[in-house]
Structure 1
Amino acid sequence: MSNLPLIVMAGASGDLGGRIARALISRGVPTRALVRTNTRQAQLPTGLEVVPVDFADHDRLRAACDDATCIVSAVNGLGDVVLDLQSRLLDAAIAASVPRFIPSDYSLDFTRTAPGRNRNLDLRRAFKAKLDAAPIAATSVLNGAFADLLAGQAPIVLHGIRRILYWGEADQHYDFTTK
């Protein structure tokens, strides 16, 4: 049994969440993954304590947060996930007296962007306002955009026509990171 503090995670079945969970496990950190009741166990990294929960069931969600020293959220989506589900997770963490919450902010620094210009950043900004008002310590990870966006689903680099897309000024600085 590890003497390291327990981390409770949401989003471990996703790409980024799975990477975070594997990194914690590789360091011997006890990690409890809260998953939707229909999540297939094969989607999860080995070594996790897996707890299926109904994220709408406050009492079950609070109980699943018991004994945690930190909640790590790696969920992704729109308002129903970034605001609603994550808010329920935050409320459960507070009720379970968890001292720290890491929200799913893995993005560019939305605190330095104008509201109303990017829906996804606005969702994170709205959740941050709720988190800042909550009686829990918080840590946001503002790592820049993921580099796979450069040529992925919403490409900035268009290899075929040898172009780079930009908005506003052509010398705009971007922050990127790898997963």
Structure 2
Amino acid sequence: MTSELLDRALVEEATKKSGLIWVRGADAPAARALWHVWHEGAACLVGDGPGEQPLPGLTDGGAAEVTVRSKDKGGRLIAWSARTVELAPGSEAWEAVVAELKGKRLNAPDGEAMTERWARECRVLRLEPTGATTPPPDGSLAEVPLPTPATTRQPIPAGLPRLLFKGRKRRG
């Protein structure tokens, strides 16, 4: 009983303090870094809408694996299993969670109208701990990066250094 309470306290404290959590849904190919807030015993997320974080593999009633990193060193602190609960827009629980999420959302394109957009176009999820924690791994957890349309930088144009340093004079 004592170890269960300690695990629950560690899950809550570590998740509260971490700005990002790594979440892997049941059908997701890899874990994703997601911003969240801790509210009433669960990690709460908003996403799957225009301009918001994707939530692949997270379905209502589904399972998820959450890994929490250290805020200062970035290393893995604890991994825990969760049950995903999707909150209905406009419900009392949705309103309470959105009030917390709204304060943490950085650079929202629509400011105060963000909550109305979330109600129309996004999903708000609670990741409720099931009590199961995963022991630390023996090896590396490195994974192949997710596919992206981003490209590697090309060599800079030959004339660019002259344009950048044109106004500077040598002091001798």
Please give the range of the TM-score, normalised by the shorter of the 2 chains: under 0.3
> TM-score under structure 2 normalisation?
0.26
> Which has the larger helix fraction?
1
Which is higher, the Rg of structure 1 or of structure 2?
2
Which structure is higher in RCO with an 8 Å CA cutoff and minimum separation 6?
Answer: 2
> Which has the larger strand fraction?
2
> TM-score under structure 1 normalisation?
0.25
